[in-house]
Amino acid sequence: MLSFLHHSLLICYVFTGLFKPLAPAEAGNALKHPLHLSSTELNYNLKESTMEVSCRIFTDDFEDILSKKYKIKADLSLEAKHKEMDLLVSKYIISHLQLAANGKVLPLNYIGFEKDNEAVVVYLESAKVKNIVKLETTSTVLYDLFDDQTNIFHLTSKGNRHSFKLTFPDKKVASSL
């Protein structure tokens, strides 16, 4: 009986949250998600001596910040605008995500982006770097849009995986490899 009650309450919470009437101010944001999150994979490729980076960002949030920052109508889904968007995505990511290996800035080369369901995945690769002992990650991705933004990082090196996060206003985290 008690489990049925908990199950019924959960269903009530879900339906009241999904179907509550929107106030006029909320009506424009009806399709927005309440979670402001990005996820970045950092993989150290021993053979190539490079850091491979893939950053996953909700498409609507990314389009909002690109539109706001560069004063254009960003559309990351439209194939006809891909080249134009490529320039903006590159410019934004390179200025909001930096890596430092052993205390030295690790230049990132923008490779491109692709749409993946509700997200955009941005690909980067570092210049060659050997013997990384300490990796410092600086990220302000979407900080200029949300004051509750969280950026999660998964670092893989030599078969070991470490995860860490940066939540607004924190910008920098260091990890040992």
What's the pLDDT tens digit per position in 42-79?
999 999 999 999 999 999 999 999 999 999 999 999 99
Instruction: Name the band, by pLDDT with cuts 50, 70 and 90, for residue 9.
Output: very low
Please give the pLDDT value at position 158: 87
Q: How confident is the model at residue 32 (pLDDT cuts 50, 70, 90)?
A: low
Q: What is the pLDDT of residue 3?
A: 40
DSSP string, 41-103: EEEEETTTTEEEEEEEEEHHHHHHHHHHHHTS---SS-GGGHHHHHHHHHHHHHHHEEEEETT
The mean pLDDT value for 92-106 works out to: 96
As a whole number, mean pLDDT of residues 131-149 equals: 95
Domain ranges of the chain: 33-176
